[in-house]
Amino acid sequence: MWAQPYRKSDVEAGATPLYPMMSESPQLRWAFIRKIYSIIAIQLLATIAVASVVVSVRPISHFFSSTGAGLALYIVLIITPFIVLCPLYYYYQKHPVNYLLLGVFTIALSFAVGLTCAYTKGEVILESAILTAVVVISLTLYTFWAARRGHDFNFLGPFLFGAVMVLLVFAFIQILFPLGRISVMIYGGLASIIFCGYIIYDTDNLIKRYSYDEYIWAAVALYLDIINLFLSLLTIFRAADN
């Protein structure tokens, strides 16, 4: 008898599911996950490159901190990522507009991160970056491991949203009535815990719930989690250093 021809569907059928009762093809979901992490890797590399230029070229940070035009431009850079999210919501499936908007979003946020790091010691930045990398990798591996064993983290959504609202009110109070270094460290600690929860929550959504055409939103969510975790840790270390 002739041997049966090799078919890709045979491999997909024998692939290990990412979680119990998985109804879709594990191969397709893994391809989707690889695509998301490739986009995030490019975003993080762009952030590192832009932030490094802002930190190392002192005239840039001096312009933003000592001139009225620089302050106005800084405010524009802060609000640009939020503005870009609006058209991105409508064009996230339209190529290449979605990638162009994602690039604008990433570059604007990278400038804001670079300006934050420009007034921070190099040792503090390095400590925050290393700890962020360790935490992100550890939580990602844990979430994949937990999902394989049937754990579901979708219940975290309402709690995390409520925690972010509390964090925003805390930050607003801190701006109006500065409470000192201890309160800044408490804020950074709470923010770090919240965004650790968001990394688990969004990774679980990446494994189970995001559809294949939502790769832009999945990348934006995880990228923001990583950046916010880094900034939270930077806040803690900078307050402790001062």
Q: What is the pTM of this model?
A: 0.89
Each residue's pLDDT tens digit, 121-134: 888 999 999 999 99
* DSSP secondary structure string for all residues of the chain: -PPPPP-HHHHHHHSPPSSTT--S-HHHHHHHHHHHHHHHHHHHHHHHHHHHHHHH-HHHHHHHHH-HHHHHHHHHHHHHHHHHHHHHHHHTTSTTHHHHHHHHHHHHHHHHHHHHHTTS-HHHHHHHHHHHHHHHHHHHHHHHHHHHTT---TTHHHHHHHHHHHHHHHHHHHHHS---HHHHHHHHHHHHHHHHHHHHHHHHHHHHT--TT-HHHHHHHHHHHHHHHHHHHHHHHHHHH-
Each residue's pLDDT tens digit, 21-64: 888 888 999 999 999 999 999 999 999 999 999 888 888 877 87
